[in-house]
A and B are shown apart, each in its own frame.
Chain A
Amino acid sequence: MIEQLLELARRRADGGADALWRQVERTSVAFEWGRLKTAGASEEAGANLRVRHRGRVGIAGTTAVDASPDDILTRALASAELGEELALAFPAPAPVPPVATFFHPVADASLDRLMAIGRSLLERLEREGCRVNVTIERETAETRVANSAGAAGAYRSTAIGVSAEVWRIAGDDVLAIGDTFEGADLPSDAALAALVGSVNARLEHALRVVAPPEGALPVVFTPPGLSALMLPVTQALSGKAVLQGISPLAARVGEQVFDSRFSLSDDPLRAGRAASRPLDDECVPSRTTCLVERGVVQRFIYDLETAARARTQSTGHGHRTIFGKPVPGYTNIVLGDGGRGTGDGGDELGGGLLRDVQDGLLVDELIGVGQGNVIGGAFSHPVALAYRVEHGAISGRVKDAAIAGNAYDLWKRVGGFGNDGRWAGSRYTPSVLLDGVSVARR
């Protein structure tokens, strides 16, 4: 379909065009409150077309795959009539790196196999007074991208997500502890065992509730708990934020901004990750982008449009859905030089960092991350799941506590990185110990 769209666009748009076609099939099973309840399937296909005409750029998308290509092009041209002038250049053909994105064990897994994975988790997570939800979603996709400069790419990909959540309600105390495996290949037995171990360990420690500490304290953030500290940095490293003049890191390339042990990269070529891809959604070949090296800011991520505005090159971070225009986005974010491991994480909460903490917190989940003026670095959040650490060990779960600080200040001096590096969504980090986080009771 996109070849046809581009062929038509060549005739009617004087500045070229590019297009994406994507077909996705999903199969899912859901265990609700301990019972297998739903099995689902979905099929979706659609196309997104971008044209440049008389110097202006326009977009159109459709899932009506039977719609006439002429209609879609007409809509894209109408969108371009209103668009701002932009010197958008569609990339020429270039070699793409090899990366495994399609795994037969995932694509071929039967419904029974998916249900068996769910049952095995359920059996290991069920306990008195608790209810367990498990969902498993398997996806196979085919992506095609091409442009009028002759660049084109096509690949098939797989993804699987396995989530488990244990709920415990005792009086008015509501506790929910969950974890998720995400990957392009089926989880190994060890990965499933790690998921169970992670949920059970956090649940065991949560059964006892203790009073929170107070003051400027050492706080260990688990990989999922690190979101509030990572979000300002990843937002500030987007070329879009730089263009908008809101990135605090904009004028600081080459400067030592973070602790010298803080290195950050984006890696679309990581094996076994669902976000990996040989080329981006705008025909730019994938490559690993070093964003921060040993505390020194290196570069920002760009898609074609933000790169054109910033008069630089796309870093291959174009993300595109069927509707709307491409935007810059990360693939696999890796903190530290780690991320080469199995991704199963260490066994011990806090990755060995707790033993140096006399009195502080271990934070696993916060409330309200992403609200407010994130990119400025200041954060203030009640805890959703956090533990008090006393004399090097967890003494119990704290409720009614909140933490605050500034991410850029805290990242200047890192107390330590744990030995428990793992994937949390599309981000690979270990646990991190940060000193002087403001902790308050409420």
Chain B
Amino acid sequence: MIDRLTAALERSRADYTEIRVERTWSTAVGFRGRRLESATASEDQGGFVRALTAGGGWGVAAFTSLDRLDAMVARAVELSRAVRVTPPIRLADVAPHQADAILDLDGDVRGVPIAEKKRLLEAYNGELLAVSDRVVDTVASYRDEVSEYWYVNSEGTALHELRPEVTLSGTAVARRDGTIEKGLESIGLRRGWNSVQDKAAGFREAAERAVQLLDAPMVTGGAYPVILDPELAGVFIHEAFGHLSEADFVYENPQAREMMTLGRRFGKSALNVGDNGAAPGLRGTLPFDDEGTPTQDTPLIKEGILVGRLHSRETAATMGERATGNARAISFRHPPIVRMTNTYIANGRGSFDDLIRDVQLGVYACGAFGGQTLLENFSFTAAYGRMIRDGHLAELVKDVVLAGNLFQTLDRIDHIAGDFRWNQMGGGCGKGGQAPLPVTEGAPHVRIEEALVGGDVASASG
């Protein structure tokens, strides 16, 4: 394949050309309650060409029929020529790489019959249902894939990779009369069949939580000291800060550049944030990004100060910085755009107890049902919460929604514990019509000295 792609590159009349080809085998199994919703196997294949001519724009072409390779290279070149860009698009230098990387398949999912995948999910789904007769419904899903990937560009980079992925998730719905509560377990790994065995405990806990929440009161809205558990802290840093650190947001927007000037203080000195696409064994990890740039650990906030951002080759060249290996595409259907990989709040010091010891009245917000950031505002729904009273964890509470302004909230992070962990969840990140992109988030427990918590807006205003 590499030879075939290299030959196509040689026929390109552009100044820069890159070609990506992917062939993906995947299976998916879904349960709803006791009923199997679907069990399917799919095969997806296609290619993507991006070309740049002198003074021209990006010409891009995506296709599913590999017979069309040469025609699509020619089409991309023609599209590039049709667009005039001044000043011209430049790409930051990246040394050419040749690599053949078979990621650890950890039990190749292609060798496991789909009936066995169904049995595995049925067992986990059964764990959810067995917890209580109050669990009235479940949604459980298993998905795996192995993607064979080829990338070449006209600067001499040639890559071949075999990339596995497996995700597993289960939602338990508990009901009593008119009250409905949910518990969620989600696992996402760049691994294989072996890594999703023996996961029953997490499913049981999710269902137990849903049942316990039936008896939990709604949190009383208001401003509190809030401790985020590592999962929610990870989602928070990804959504609320990570997207602003993507350079395509700032590189050609002077006002945005000013807002995100390196050296600006974003938080107290305890706060260190980064994005590490090379961290071993994570879902957002790959040796190279989709422009052939090696991935790396990129510091974003150091002791509260903005020190870096995430780049593609184009945004890096425009801003006079170095490419960071963050140009990613979810598939051959899409161009690479600036994305996160594994985004983290770095470890602090001390234990969880140190964070809550001097909190008279506060909220411990755990897990994430969802979150959205729009511009500088965010809203996150925690899976559940515990009140903190006189320095100790107290009753379970539900409907914990955190809403606020990014800049204010980051600045109010005053204590970060030393219990860092990566959250190996399923799902993924969405941007520019490309979702879900496999990413990971990681954090220790994090304390925000004051944040607004409310399930019910009317009470939050009181």
Report the bound CA distance from A39 to B51 in whole Å: 10
Among the listed A63, A168, A324, which residue makes an inter-chain contact with B43, where contact means beta carbons less than 8 Å apart? Answer: A63
- CB of B456 within 8 A of chain A? yes
- Whether A400 pairs with B405 at a CB distance below 8 angstroms is yes
- Whether B44 pairs with A371 at a CB distance below 8 angstroms is no
Among the listed B63, B114, B460, which residue makes an inter-chain contact with A79, where contact means beta carbons less than 8 Å apart? Answer: B114
- CB of A193 within 8 A of chain B? no
Contact A384 to B452, CB < 8 A, known contacts A79-B114, A372-B381: no
Among the listed A84, A167, A373, which residue makes an inter-chain contact with B35, where contact means beta carbons less than 8 Å apart? Answer: A84
Report the bound CA distance from A429 to B38 in whole Å: 35
Report the bound CA distance from A144 to B306 in whole Å: 54
- CB of B57 within 8 A of chain A? yes
- CB of A404 within 8 A of chain B? yes
- Whether B460 pairs with A325 at a CB distance below 8 angstroms is no
Residues of B within 8 A of A35 (CB): 85, 252
- CB of B36 within 8 A of chain A? yes
- Whether B79 pairs with A380 at a CB distance below 8 angstroms is no
- CB of B281 within 8 A of chain A? no
- CB of A341 within 8 A of chain B? no
Residue among A32, A39, A384 having the largest count of chain B Cβ atoms under 10 Å: A39
Residues of B within 8 A of A83 (CB): 36, 38-39
Closest chain-A Cβ to B338's Cβ sits at a distance in Å of: 12
Residues of B within 8 A of A188 (CB): none
Report the bound CA distance from A78 to B369 in whole Å: 34
Interface bits B48-79 vs A (CB < 8 Å: 1, else 0): 00000000011111111101100010011001
Report the bound CA distance from A40 to B48 in whole Å: 10
- CB of A60 within 8 A of chain B? yes
- Whether A129 pairs with B255 at a CB distance below 8 angstroms is yes
Closest chain-B Cβ to A4's Cβ sits at a distance in Å of: 17
Contact A367 to B61, CB < 8 A, known contacts A42-B333, A79-B39: no
Report the bound CA distance from A390 to B76 in whole Å: 53
Closest chain-B Cβ to A402's Cβ sits at a distance in Å of: 5
Which residues from 55 to 83 on chain A have a C-beta closer than 8 Å to any C-beta of chain B? 58-67, 75, 78-79, 81-83
Report the bound CA distance from A42 to B44 in whole Å: 15
* Chain A residue nearest to B372 in the complex (CB): A368
Interface bits A135-175 vs B (CB < 8 Å: 1, else 0): 00000000000000000000000000000000111111111
Residues of A within 8 A of B392 (CB): none
Report the bound CA distance from A83 to B114 in whole Å: 11
Report the bound CA distance from A66 to B44 in whole Å: 12
Among the listed B40, B58, B258, B456, which residue makes an inter-chain contact with A323, where contact means beta carbons less than 8 Å apart? Answer: B40
- Whether B335 pairs with A82 at a CB distance below 8 angstroms is no
- Whether B376 pairs with A371 at a CB distance below 8 angstroms is no
A-B contact count (CB 8 A): 221
- Whether B452 pairs with A41 at a CB distance below 8 angstroms is no
Among the listed B65, B84, B381, B403, which residue makes an inter-chain contact with A43, where contact means beta carbons less than 8 Å apart? Answer: B65
Interface bits A316-357 vs B (CB < 8 Å: 1, else 0): 000000111100000000000000000000000000000000
- Whether A438 pairs with B60 at a CB distance below 8 angstroms is no
Residues of A within 8 A of B65 (CB): 43, 45, 65-66
Residues of B within 8 A of A84 (CB): 35-36
Residues of A within 8 A of B404 (CB): 442
- Whether A442 pairs with B378 at a CB distance below 8 angstroms is no
Residue among B68, B72, B377 having the largest count of chain A Cβ atoms under 10 Å: B377
- Whether B403 pairs with A372 at a CB distance below 8 angstroms is no
Residues of B within 8 A of A111 (CB): 79, 82
* Chain B residue nearest to A67 in the complex (CB): B43
- CB of B375 within 8 A of chain A? yes
Closest chain-B Cβ to A119's Cβ sits at a distance in Å of: 12
Closest chain-A Cβ to B88's Cβ sits at a distance in Å of: 11
Contact A441 to B461, CB < 8 A, known contacts A38-B83, A40-B59: yes
Report the bound CA distance from A421 to B401 in whole Å: 33
Among the listed A39, A44, A246, which residue makes an inter-chain contact with B58, where contact means beta carbons less than 8 Å apart? Answer: A39
Report the bound CA distance from A112 to B81 in whole Å: 12
* Chain A residue nearest to B118 in the complex (CB): A82
Closest chain-A Cβ to B180's Cβ sits at a distance in Å of: 6
Interface bits A362-391 vs B (CB < 8 Å: 1, else 0): 000101100111001000111010000000
- Whether B256 pairs with A169 at a CB distance below 8 angstroms is yes
- Whether A39 pairs with B401 at a CB distance below 8 angstroms is no
Report the bound CA distance from A189 to B65 in whole Å: 37
- Whether B370 pairs with A371 at a CB distance below 8 angstroms is yes
Among the listed B23, B29, B79, B373, which residue makes an inter-chain contact with A40, where contact means beta carbons less than 8 Å apart? Answer: B79
Report the bound CA distance from A55 to B211 in whole Å: 36
* Chain A residue nearest to B35 in the complex (CB): A84
- CB of B80 within 8 A of chain A? yes
Among the listed A37, A174, A245, A325, which residue makes an inter-chain contact with B40, where contact means beta carbons less than 8 Å apart? Answer: A325
- CB of B413 within 8 A of chain A? no
Among the listed B45, B83, B403, which residue makes an inter-chain contact with A36, where contact means beta carbons less than 8 Å apart? Answer: B83
Residues of A within 8 A of B407 (CB): 172
- Whether A324 pairs with B369 at a CB distance below 8 angstroms is no
Report the bound CA distance from A32 to B373 in whole Å: 21
Report the bound CA distance from A60 to B61 in whole Å: 27
- CB of B1 within 8 A of chain A? no
Report the bound CA distance from A115 to B378 in whole Å: 35
Report the bound CA distance from A395 to B457 in whole Å: 23
Closest chain-B Cβ to A66's Cβ sits at a distance in Å of: 8
Among the listed B114, B377, B456, which residue makes an inter-chain contact with A367, where contact means beta carbons less than 8 Å apart? Answer: B377
- Whether B44 pairs with A63 at a CB distance below 8 angstroms is yes
Report the bound CA distance from A83 to B29 in whole Å: 10
Among the listed A41, A324, A371, which residue makes an inter-chain contact with B372, where contact means beta carbons less than 8 Å apart? Answer: A371
Report the bound CA distance from A31 to B316 in whole Å: 19
- Whether A40 pairs with B60 at a CB distance below 8 angstroms is yes
Report the bound CA distance from A244 to B83 in whole Å: 51
- CB of A33 within 8 A of chain B? yes
Contact A372 to B40, CB < 8 A, known contacts A170-B255, A171-B259: no
Among the listed B44, B72, B375, which residue makes an inter-chain contact with A174, where contact means beta carbons less than 8 Å apart? Answer: B375
- CB of B427 within 8 A of chain A? no
- CB of B137 within 8 A of chain A? yes
- Whether A380 pairs with B63 at a CB distance below 8 angstroms is no
Residues of B within 8 A of A371 (CB): 369-372, 379, 381
* Chain B residue nearest to A214 in the complex (CB): B461
- CB of A117 within 8 A of chain B? no
Contact A168 to B255, CB < 8 A, known contacts A39-B57, A82-B36, A82-B118: yes
- CB of A176 within 8 A of chain B? yes
- Whether A403 pairs with B457 at a CB distance below 8 angstroms is yes
- CB of B42 within 8 A of chain A? yes
* Chain B residue nearest to A324 in the complex (CB): B40
Interface bits A8-46 vs B (CB < 8 Å: 1, else 0): 000000000000000000000100111111111111111
- Whether B137 pairs with A245 at a CB distance below 8 angstroms is yes
- Whether B461 pairs with A64 at a CB distance below 8 angstroms is no
Closest chain-B Cβ to A27's Cβ sits at a distance in Å of: 9
Which residues from 422 to 458 on chain B have a C-beta closer than 8 Å to any C-beta of chain A? 452, 454-458
Residue among B45, B60, B255 having the largest count of chain A Cβ atoms under 10 Å: B255
Contact A37 to B253, CB < 8 A, known contacts A62-B43, A380-B457, A438-B457: no
> Can you name 22 A-B residue pairings with CB atoms under 8 Å?
A36-B57, A36-B84, A38-B60, A40-B61, A41-B60, A42-B61, A43-B64, A43-B72, A62-B42, A63-B45, A66-B67, A84-B36, A131-B255, A168-B255, A172-B259, A175-B375, A368-B371, A380-B401, A382-B377, A382-B403, A399-B377, A438-B457
Instruction: For the A-B complex with A61-B40, A399-B377 known, give 12 more contacts whose Cβ atoms are closer than 8 Å.
Output: A37-B57, A37-B85, A44-B64, A60-B42, A64-B64, A82-B36, A171-B259, A214-B461, A368-B379, A371-B381, A372-B369, A440-B454
Nearest 6 pairs of A and B residues by beta carbon: A440-B461, A169-B255, A404-B457, A371-B370, A174-B375, A39-B79
